[in-house]
């Protein structure tokens, strides 16, 4: 039977498709046979290729850990959103020069063009990165149900395993534990009756201090009580809540912390403006005059979130607050020395904490 | 309801405490009152209650007048783009640091000026093209979209702190109420509200139709412009202090109309009173529902206003069917 032209065409197309499919199957099966697997934060079994040389990090919280684990040479692209001043020193100063893949990896085309081997993602982005790139996608998300330190450890484990830097991951966890243990072993034994009441003001550009967070781990780890914790049922972690002035009066905090993560407000057009709430603003607020923190001038700046915890800042924050809350218990704790040590561990430069503390006007002993 | 509101809060005060504070504050009698009670009742609760009453009143009467003048039952104080203009102005101040006034009125000044911008554009369009009511509303919708898009663009380039601040502002909140806000707002309302009341007779006539109104000697065009300018001023003044509190201006006139009818001479003050009570009630709910966290008042007015509006729409359909 002779085949007419359409028939030949159909046979040709079938051969081509079968050929391509087979090659893709070969490629995929090759990838699968030469990879290690890990269970990521989404419970997926992910194939990690033999060579991981081009890593994409859409979240600065992952980038920090990659830098701390010594994985800088593997980074191909990062998000510059929330890249803090001290982090520009990271990776021997090249972190800030890596291609900016947009907020949370919004520039998918650029990511694809960088030919990544591995992408660290949040759970909601897995599908996007998987469908648009050939890279292995590892979810490294955090959960509201975990404490800050548990989340740090989980992230370090996953990133360390994915980059085959497990030794460095263990070393980082040991370092973090060594820095915090002398403080936490003391503060965990402090009863509630001896813990100061603390209000964390997540400053709002409307100039008030009515925005706070219900769960702020450094306060508790440092031996304080977050006065807003009774609202925990409704909001956890970085999610802020609004409270009323009356509640602040009713809670009567002994300490007020004003969040600050930059010395001034930097705008996209290059201009700056002063931060919206200062210590003096809080002292001058008429409705706060009966509050213990204002009467005793126990109002301080502290570092803030920027798309979740900046790890290095959060660790120092615990030490900083512990010494403020319990000066007698931590008389020998040199916050600045420990801060510089922590920052150096992450970014390899001296005196980064001192620079930050000066710029943000943190309390210094 | 205002007196009841003074008694609601996390710190419990007796009626005697409240009366003592009020008498001491207004008449300087020298009574000994506890400093915290003085602060809470006179400087926190009372300004909040007064602001709720003033804003509710203002939004309701402007909503009512907008519905008559634009001949549209879904018109509200924000129909001409006041809310989206204000949100853009606030976003500009928060995210880009660009402000008209600077200082502590940075946000308020921007919100006020930019809330009037869409209205100005709509007025200009109406003068240039002599457009009717429908076109005015469409122009307002277009302004809403334009300024919303601009706000979205700003948000895209913002960080999480700024986004949070802007988001909270757009939800509408009375928690920052202070005497510093009430005084300028009261002055604006004292000037504009009587002028709005003076339009009532003309609005009653306008209800019968443009041609009938012209026949009775009403300058329809002028009345329309005057009412739109005044309502925009009132809405802009309110929104710059409180953020976007929706549905008060939309729903209050409808509910009051069901009760007392359409005569603008009574309909307007009644709408205002209802709006004042509605907003105050919503604010109290906002304070109590998930205490100690506070919900933005705009969320409560939307949640309570929407079902009412849906009910009115269904009822109107049923009445027509009969």
DSSP for B183-202, please give it.
Answer: HHHHHHHHHHHHHHHTTHHH
The pLDDT, as a whole number, for residue B146 is 93
The pLDDT, as a whole number, for residue A329 is 95
Q: Which CATH number fits domain A23-173: 3.30.390.10, 3.40.50.1980, 1.10.3720.10, 3.40.50.10420?
A: 3.40.50.1980
pLDDT per residue as tens digits for the range B161-203: 778 778 888 888 888 888 888 999 999 999 999 998 888 878 7
**What token pair was written down for B78?**
């924000």
**Rg for chain A, CA atoms, rounded:** 25
pLDDT per residue as tens digits for the range B242-262: 888 888 998 898 888 888 877
Count the Cβ atoms, other than its own, within 10 Å of residue A27. Answer: 11
pLDDT-wise least confident of A13-17, A352-356, B128-132, B294-298: A13-17
Name the pLDDT band for B240 (thresholds 50, 70, 90). Answer: confident
The pLDDT, as a whole number, for residue A25 is 38
Give the minimum alpha-carbon distance from B78 to chain A in angstroms, rounded to a whole number: 22
Which domain does B18 fall in, by range? 2-321
**What token pair was written down for B248?**
């008060």
Task: Name the most confidently modeled range: A142-151, A306-315, B145-154, B170-179.
Answer: B145-154
pLDDT per residue as tens digits for the range B290-300: 888 888 898 89
Alpha carbon distance B231, B234 (integer Å): 5
Give the minimum alpha-carbon distance from B112 to chain A in angstroms, rounded to a whole number: 15
CB contact under 8 A, B294 and A265: no
Mutate to test the interface with B, among A80, A100, A242 (most CBs of B within 10 A): A242
Number of domains in chain B: 1
CB contact under 8 A, A269 and B96: yes
CATH 3.30.230.70, applies to A190-359: no
Name the pLDDT band for A30 (thresholds 50, 70, 90). Answer: very low
The pLDDT, as a whole number, for residue B24 is 83
Chain A contact set for B176 (CB, 8 A): 206, 208, 210
Alpha carbon distance A123, A138 (integer Å): 9
Beta strands in chain A (DSSP E): 35-39, 45-49, 55-57, 75-78, 118-121, 136-139, 197-201, 211-213, 225-226, 240-242, 255-259, 265-266, 272-273, 299-302
Inform me whether the pLDDT recorded for B306 exceeds 90: no
Percentage of the residues of chain B whose pLDDT score is greater than 70: 94
Task: Name the most confidently modeled range: A61-75, B98-112, B301-315.
Answer: A61-75
Name the pLDDT band for B55 (thresholds 50, 70, 90). Answer: very high
- Could you tell me the CATH number of the domain that includes residue B317? 1.10.3470.10
CB contact under 8 A, B292 and A247: yes
Name the pLDDT band for B319 (thresholds 50, 70, 90). Answer: low
Inform me whether the pLDDT recorded for A33 exceeds 90: no
Name the pLDDT band for B26 (thresholds 50, 70, 90). Answer: confident
C-alpha to C-alpha distances, A22 to A184, A258, B147, B163, nearest whole angstrom? 57, 60, 53, 49
Give the minimum alpha-carbon distance from A174 to chain B in angstroms, rounded to a whole number: 31
User: What is the complex's ipTM, to 2 decimals?
Assistant: 0.74
Residues of chain A with CATH 3.40.50.1980: 23-173, 190-359
Alpha carbon distance B60, B75 (integer Å): 11
């Amino acid at each position: 039977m002779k085949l007419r032209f359409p028939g030949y065409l159909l046979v040709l197309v079938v051969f081509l498709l079968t050929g391509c499919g087979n090659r893709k199957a070969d490629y995929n099966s090759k990838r699968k046979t030469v990879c290690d697997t890990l269970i990521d934060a989404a419970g997926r079994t992910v194939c990690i290729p033999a060579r991981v040389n081009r890593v994409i990090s859409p979240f600065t919280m992952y980038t920090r850990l990659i830098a701390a684990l010594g994985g800088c040479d593997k980074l191909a692209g990062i998000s510059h959103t929330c890249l803090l001043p001290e982090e520009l020193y990271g990776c021997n100063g090249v972190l800030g020069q890596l291609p900016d893949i947009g907020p949370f990896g919004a520039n998918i085309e650029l990511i694809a063009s960088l030919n990544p081997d591995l992408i660290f993602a949040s759970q909601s982005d897995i599908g996007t990165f998987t469908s648009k790139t050939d890279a292995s996608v590892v979810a490294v998300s955090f959960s509201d149900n975990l404490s800050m330190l548990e989340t740090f450890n989980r992230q370090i484990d996953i990133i360390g395993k994915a980059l085959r830097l497990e030794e460095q991951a263990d070393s980082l966890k040991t370092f973090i534990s060594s820095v915090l243990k002398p403080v936490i072993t003391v503060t965990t034994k402090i009863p509630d009756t001896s813990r100061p009441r603390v209000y964390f003001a997540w400053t709002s550009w409307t100039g008030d201090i009515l925005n706070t967070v219900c769960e702020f781990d450094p306060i508790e780890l440092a031996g304080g009580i977050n006065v807003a914790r009774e609202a925990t049922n409704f909001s956890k972690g970085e999610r802020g809540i609004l409270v009323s002035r009356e509640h602040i009066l009713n809670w009567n905090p002994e300490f007020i912390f004003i969040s600050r993560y930059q010395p001034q407000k930097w705008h996209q057009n290059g201009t700056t403006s002063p931060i919206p709430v200062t210590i003096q603003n809080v002292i001058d607020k008429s409705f706060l005059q009966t509050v213990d923190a204002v009467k005793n001038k126990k109002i301080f700046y502290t570092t803030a979130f920027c798309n979740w915890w900046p790890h290095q800042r959060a660790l120092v924050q615990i030490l900083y607050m512990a010494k403020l809350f319990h000066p007698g218990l931590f008389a020998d704790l040199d916050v600045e020395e420990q801060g510089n040590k922590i920052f150096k561990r992450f970014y390899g430069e001296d005196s980064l904490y001192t620079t930050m503390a000066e710029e943000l006007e943190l309390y210094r002993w | 309801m205002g007196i009841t509101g003074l008694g609601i809060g996390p710190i419990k005060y007796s009626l005697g405490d409240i009366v003592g504070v009020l008498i001491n504050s207004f008449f300087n009698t020298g009574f000994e009152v506890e400093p915290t009670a003085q602060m809470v009742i006179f400087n926190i609760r009372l300004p909040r209650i007064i602001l709720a009453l003033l804003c509710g009143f203002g939004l309701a009467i402007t909503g009512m007048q907008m519905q008559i003048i634009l001949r549209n039952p879904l018109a509200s104080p924000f129909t001409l783009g006041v809310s989206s203009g204000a949100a853009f102005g606030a976003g500009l101040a928060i995210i880009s640091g660009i402000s008209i006034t600077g200082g502590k009125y940075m946000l308020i000044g921007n919100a006020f000026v930019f809330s009037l911008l869409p209205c100005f554009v709509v007025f200009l369009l109406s003068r240039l093209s002599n457009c009717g009511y429908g076109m005015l509303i469409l122009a307002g919708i277009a302004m809403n979209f334009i300024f919303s898009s601009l706000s979205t663009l700003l948000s895209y380039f913002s960080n999480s702190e700024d986004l949070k601040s802007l988001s909270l502002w757009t939800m509408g909140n009375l928690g920052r109420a202070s005497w510093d806000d009430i005084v300028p707002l009261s002055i604006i309302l004292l000037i504009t509200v009587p002028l709005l009341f003076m339009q009532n007779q003309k609005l009653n006539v306008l209800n019968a139709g443009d041609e009938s109104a012209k026949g009775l000697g009403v300058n329809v065009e002028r009345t329309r412009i005057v009412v739109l300018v005044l309502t925009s001023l009132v809405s802009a003044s309110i929104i710059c202090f409180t953020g976007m509190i929706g549905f008060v201006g939309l729903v209050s006139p409808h509910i009051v109309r069901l009760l007392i009818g359409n005569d603008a001479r009574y309909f307007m003050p009644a709408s205002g009173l209802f709006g004042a009570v509605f907003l105050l009630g919503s604010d109290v709910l906002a304070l109590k529902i998930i205490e100690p966290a506070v919900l933005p008042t705009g969320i409560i007015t939307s949640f309570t206003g929407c079902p009412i509006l849906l009910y009115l729409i269904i009822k109107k359909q049923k009445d027509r069917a009969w």
